[in-house]
């Protein structure tokens, strides 16, 4: 269970760095499919699978919240066009002769 919680939390935090909150819906469905396959493989009862799925989705949502908060506090600054600035010069610098 700890592995599922940790993986879901980190997946949610990673999703928050790039995507908006709507990305949690397909990620949750993918997690449910993966957990369902693991439950069938290890022959777990339905209640154990339901508890694991609820905990995994909740951990993913908490990870998303923590990641979004950390991104807003420590995230990269954006330039005036809204794109993340990488610090790389966009065009070559010409020195005067």
User: Can you give the residue range of the structural domain that contains 57?
Assistant: 2-74
19 in a domain, yes or no?
Answer: yes
4 close to 52: Cβ distance less than 8 angstroms? yes
91 in a domain, yes or no?
Answer: no
Q: DSSP of 37-91, one letter per residue?
A: HHHHHTT--HHHHHHHHHHHHHHHHHHHHHHHHHHHHHPPPB-TTSSBP-S--SS
- Quote the pLDDT of residue 32: 93
Please list the ranges in the chain whose pLDDT falls under 70: 76-93, 97
- Quote the pLDDT of residue 63: 95
87 in a domain, yes or no?
Answer: no
The tens digit of pLDDT for each residue in 28-55 reads 999 999 999 999 998 888 899 999 999 9
45 in a domain, yes or no?
Answer: yes
- Residues found in the chain: 97
- Quote the pLDDT of residue 81: 53
90 in a domain, yes or no?
Answer: no
Domain count, the chain: 1
């Amino acid at each position: 269970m700890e592995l599922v919680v940790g993986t879901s939390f980190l997946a949610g935090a990673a999703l928050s760095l790039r995507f908006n909150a709507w990305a949690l819906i397909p990620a949750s469905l993918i997690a449910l499919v993966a957990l369902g396959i693991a439950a069938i493989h290890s022959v777990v009862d339905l209640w154990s699978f339901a508890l694991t799925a609820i905990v995994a989705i909740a951990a993913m949502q908490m990870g998303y919240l923590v990641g979004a908060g950390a991104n807003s506090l420590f995230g990269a600054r954006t330039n005036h066009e809204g794109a993340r600035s990488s610090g790389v010069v966009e065009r070559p610098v010409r020195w005067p002769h």
